[in-house]
Chain A
């Protein structure tokens, strides 16, 4: 299983762009990179997933360099409601029922006014 490393916490202000970088040096060829968001007392929520280059949806962008050993989640113009824990996961879930996702400690993002 690919191990991920991300900052323990980050602070930002409303309206700023926030970039959270995740390192995954031993990512496997078939692994996807997936990001989740979690608010207190709620289940995690899927944000975005990618394999290589750039992926964008209505919530965020995910930048993946050619070597795929890291990835950056970009949140444009954050608001107070983006204060949450953000998890970076690497893997393919349950292909062949042997591999599984591992949720690490995540990055606590605090958005201030």
Chain B
């Protein structure tokens, strides 16, 4: 079974603190993602990475940075936490797969359990 683990289930931080969220996957997947999920807004992509040291911005990268120094590990960093970053953070990983259309896809994503971050 694919395992995606996140460093904490619950985290409480203060405004202005630097916050690190760690994600590790054990299936040698090329791609890794960070999402946040908020009521009424669904899942929104923050950053993704398709290789070591590579990163791409998602829909809401402001206030976040990421690091991928090893293939199995993808870190999300909140440089200076703010109350509007209180949310559920979800990490995912995926492999490249080519289906019937002949197009390569990374749609089958494996998600971690999530970290519920509260910024006071």
Contacts and interface: CB of A to CB of B under 8 A. Distances in A.
Interface of A: 29-32, 34, 41-46, 49, 51-52, 89, 91-95, 97, 100-101, 103-106
Interface stretch (B13-21, B68-76, B79-87, B99-107): B99-107
Contacts, number: 81
A112 B19 CA distance: 41
Contact of B107 (A29, A91, A105): A91
Contacts of B99: 32, 49, 51
B103 A43 contact: no
Interface of B: 4, 31, 35, 42-45, 48, 50, 56, 58-59, 88, 90-92, 94, 99-114, 116
A92 B111 contact: no
Contacts of B94: 93
Name which of A29, A52, A103 has the most chain B CB atoms within 10 A of its CB: A103
Contacts of A49: 99, 105, 107-108
Nearest to B101: A30
> Secondary structure of the A side of the interface?
loop
B107 A32 contact: yes
Given A93-B94, A104-B42, A51 B107 contact: no
Given A93-B94, A94-B31, A105-B42, A46 B110 contact: yes
Contact of A29 (B42, B56, B101, B114): B101
B111 A93 contact: no
Given A30-B101, A52-B100, A42 B107 contact: no
A95 B104 contact: yes
B114 A92 contact: no
17 contacts: A32-B101, A34-B107, A42-B111, A42-B114, A43-B91, A43-B114, A46-B107, A46-B109, A49-B99, A49-B107, A92-B101, A92-B104, A95-B103, A97-B50, A103-B43, A103-B44, A105-B42
